[in-house]
Amino acid sequence: MKKAAKKLFSETGPGFKLAVFYLLAVLFLALAAPVLPLKFGANELQTSSVLLPPAFWDEEAARQGHWFGTDSMGRDVLANLIFGFRTGFQVAIPVISIAFLIGILLGSIGAYFGNRKLTISRGAIFALSVCLFLWYYYGLYLGASVFGEIKWFWFVLALLAALVVSGIGFKWLLKRLPFFRKQVFVPADELVLKTTEVLTSVPRLILVLSLAAVSSPGIGNILLLLSLTYWSGPARLVRGEVLRIKELSYTEAARVSGVPVFRLLFRHILPNAAGPLITAFAFGLGNLLALEATLSFLGIGLPPETPSWGRMLAEARLNPDAWWLLFFPVLCLCLTILAVQAIGNGIRQKFI
C-alpha cells in the first residue's frame, strides 16, 4: 500500500501534488481546530469590532488581530473559516462513506443476484421487518425525542439490540412454525431500482430540505438524512459496473470453478470497478461539501451556532458591502472541491 502510494505520487503531475498538500493542510486544520492557538473563538462576539475589513485593508483590524476581518456580530472570520473546514468534513466524510457502503452493498447484490437468484425464508423476512421497526422506534424516534437529536452511540446500541431480539425471535420461529421455513424469491434488483428511482425522482436538495425542515437541528440528524438520501447514486453506478463485469470471461471461469458468491463479488468484481467508484466518491465528497454550505446558508439542518462557510455566506447576503464575508468562504469552498476532484481524477487514471 505504501509503495503504491509513493508510485502514484511520483507518477502524477504537479496539480495532483498541489491538491494533496492542500487537502492534507485542510484536514490538519479541521482536526486541530479546537487546539489551535487562535486569538478568537469561532462564536466569540465582539460588539466593538463589527464588520472590520481584513488586516491588510484596515489598521484597526490589524491592531486587534482580526487578520481576515469580522462579521456583523464581531465574530472573527479566520476562526470561522478554520472551523468551517471542520464542520464541512465532519458532515461530508461520514455521509459519503456511509452512502457508498450502502450503495455498494445494495447495488452489487441487486446486479449479481437479479430478481430470481436470491432466496430468503419467510422467518428471515419477518425478523428483518421487526428489526427495522425496533431500530426505527428506539434508535431514531425515541432517541431523537429523548436527546433532541440523533446520538450515534444510542443509534448503534439500538441497532445491536434490535438484531439480538430479532435473531432470537427468528430462531424461535424456525423451530416452532414450519410456515416460516419456506424459502421465497427476493426481487433484489427490482427493489434496488425502484427505490433509487423514487429517491432520484425528487431533486436531492428539495428532498433534503423537506426532511430537514421537519427534524430538529443537529449534526447527527443531518448526517442520517444525507446518508439515507445519497446512496442511490453509488448504488446505480455499482449496479452498472457489476452487470458489465460479471459477464466477462474471468468472472464466468471463477463462477464455474466454484468460487463462493460473496468472495467472487467482493474480491474479484468490485475491485475492478474501483476506478469509476473513486471518481464518484471524489465528486460526491465535493457535492456534499457544497450541500452542507447550502443548508447552513439557508439555516436548515445544522444548529445556528455551528460555524460553517454557509453561515458566513448568509452574513454576506445581509451585508453586501462586506466583500470579505463572501470572498474567503467561497475561495475555501472552491479550492477544497477542486482539490478533492483533482485527487480523485489522479487516482482514477491509475485504474484505467
Q: pLDDT tens across 74-92, in order?
A: 888 888 999 988 888 888 9
Crossing angle (nearest 10°) for helices 274-298 and 309-318: 40
Reported confidence tier of residue 5, pLDDT bands at 50, 70, 90: low
Which range of 274-283, 294-303, 331-340, 343-352 scores highest in mean pLDDT? It is 331-340
pLDDT for position 169 = 73
Over residues 97-119, the mean pLDDT reads: 87
pLDDT of res. 261: 79
pLDDT of 2 above 60: no
Residue range 43-54: average pLDDT? Answer: 81
Alpha helices in 114-181 (DSSP H): 122-134, 142-147, 152-176
Asked if residue 337 has pLDDT above 70, the reply is yes
Q: Does the pLDDT at position 228 exceed 80?
A: yes
Q: What pLDDT shows up at residue 335?
A: 92
When pLDDT is cut at 50, 70 and 90, the band that residue 331 belongs to is: very high
Q: Which residue has the higher pLDDT, 155 or 117?
A: 117
Among residues of the chain, what percentage have pLDDT more than 70? 89
Q: What is the pLDDT of residue 351?
A: 61
- pLDDT for residue 214: 67
- The mean per-residue pLDDT over the stretch 116-133 comes to 79
pLDDT at residue 352 greater than cutoff 60: no
**What is the SS3 assignment for 206-263?**
HHHHHHHHCCCCCHHHHHHHHHHHHCHHHHHHHHHHHHHHCCCHHHHHHHHCCCCHHH
- What grid cell was written down for 90? 465532519
Q: Which of 352, 344, 272, 282 is nearest to 108 (CA)?
A: 272
Greatest Cα-to-Cα distance within the chain, rounded to the nearest angstrom: 83
**Distance (Å, rounded) from C-alpha 215 to C-alpha 45?**
28
pLDDT at 265 over 80: yes
Contact 51, 315 (CB under 8 A): no
Query: Which domains does the chain possess?
Result: 2-115+190-349 (1.10.3720.10), 119-185 (no CATH)
Q: Which residue has the higher pLDDT, 114 or 218?
A: 114
